[in-house]
Each structure stands twice: as structure tokens, then as C-alpha cells.
Amino acid sequence: MIDLNDRLALVTGASRGIGAATAEALAGAGAHVILVARSAKALEDVEERIHAAGGSATIAPLDLTDADAVAKLSEAVAERWGKLDLMMLNAAMLGSLTPVQDIDAKEYGRILNINLIANLALIAAFDPLLKKAERAEVIGVTSSAGATPRAFWGAYGSSKAALEGLLGAYADETAYLKRLRVTILDPGATRTRMRSLAFPGEEPEEVKPPQVVAERVLALLGEERETGMRIRVD
């Protein structure tokens, strides 16, 4: 197992699903994990599991669409730790699955705010701290709908396509550092609340649990590969 002692990780959407499983895996490998999501109670539950397993974590309940709150979080992290070793951009909103002509503009705005603009704010706020780390990782969670357009998935898929473009550009811009690596992670079919909303008739046992994705994230941290790569977990 990779040793993450003395490393600081930040995971968004950490209250459940892939975010919670990854946060627990990172803490199990020795990292101190900052848990970010809107629900303080759900974050406390994840924090308790991490502590019970011998790990360490700090909860940061906030609305990721609040740019001021994101900036204040980065300031707090800078003051306490001075750097950030890993940032996992996992929080996302599915929205309604509907034909493009029926997409509700207000809901689409919320989807873009959470799936794209919030991640831009996080990158902007934490870029200086990532660049202070000896070796930093940024992992952005995407979807197959972001790479391959799919009927009725226009709103969500286009938000993920834009996120992939943003992350790819950031990877290219920071490649010269040789110590900040960006990974675009497609978790594939995974047993999450979002998956159950998108495929209500699917048996949960038919798809892999979030822990499989979390284990792949840990493995990715120990692999040698180029920045900006798109990785799928099957």
C-alpha cells in the first residue's frame, strides 16, 4: 500500500459514495483528509469512521458554489498546513435527464455551477498550495457522458465535457513543474446515489461499490504516468 503519511488531501463530495470511500482510503494510507461537502452531519459520520480506523480528518462543511467560502477554506489550509498534496474534485450534480430542447435553464445553471465553476474556484484557490507541495495530485472525477454524447444526458454530459477541457488545460499549463500531476478519472458504473437516480431500475449489486474506485485512486498515486491522462475504472 502507498504510504501517505505527512500528506494532506482534500476531497469534495466526501459525505457519501466515491468521495467518502476515497477519503477513508486516503486516511487509511496515512493522509490527513479534509472532508468537504454541504452536510455537516454526513461529514461527521465519515470523520468518525476514519478516526475509528486510526486515521485523521478534518470536516469542512460548505457550499462549493460560494466562491468566498472556498477562498476562506484555502486561507485556513494555508495558515495551518502551508501546502496541499492532493485535491480530489468529486462533488457533482446529475440534474434531470431530458432532451436538449427541454433542458431547464435554471437547473442547467446549477449543474454548471457545481460541476464546472465550483471546480474552477477550487483550482484557483488551491493552486498556490498545490505548487508548494513536493509532489501534488489533482484528480477530477468525470463521466463517460463527458467523452461520448448520449441522448438525454446533454446537461450533465456537457458539464463534464467542459470539466475535462478545463482539467486538460490546467495539466498542460502546469506540466513544466514536473511535480503537479492532473488526472481525469472516469469511475465507470459505480454503486452511488447518483447512479441510482440515473438508473432507478438497476439492481445495485450489479455494479461495483465505491471502494473499488477508492482502491484505484490509491493505486494511481503510486503509478508513473503523464499529467492530463484520462483513466477509466472498469
Question: Is the distance from CB of 210 to CB of 195 less than 8 angstroms?
Answer: no
- CA gap 181, 170 in Å, rounded: 10
- Per residue in 75-97, is it b (16+ CB within 10 Å) or e — as a string? eebbeebebbbbbbbbbbbbbeb
Selection from 24, 14, 8 nearest residue 60 by Cα: 14
- CA gap 126, 58 in Å, rounded: 17
Question: Is the distance from CB of 224 to CB of 178 less than 8 angstroms?
Answer: no
Q: How far apart are the first and last CA of the chain?
A: 20
Of 108, 156, 170, 176, the active-site residue reads 156
Is 176 an annotated catalytic residue? no
- CA gap 69, 62 in Å, rounded: 7
Q: In angstroms, how far is CA 152 from the centroid of its own chain? A: 24
Residues with active-site annotation: 156
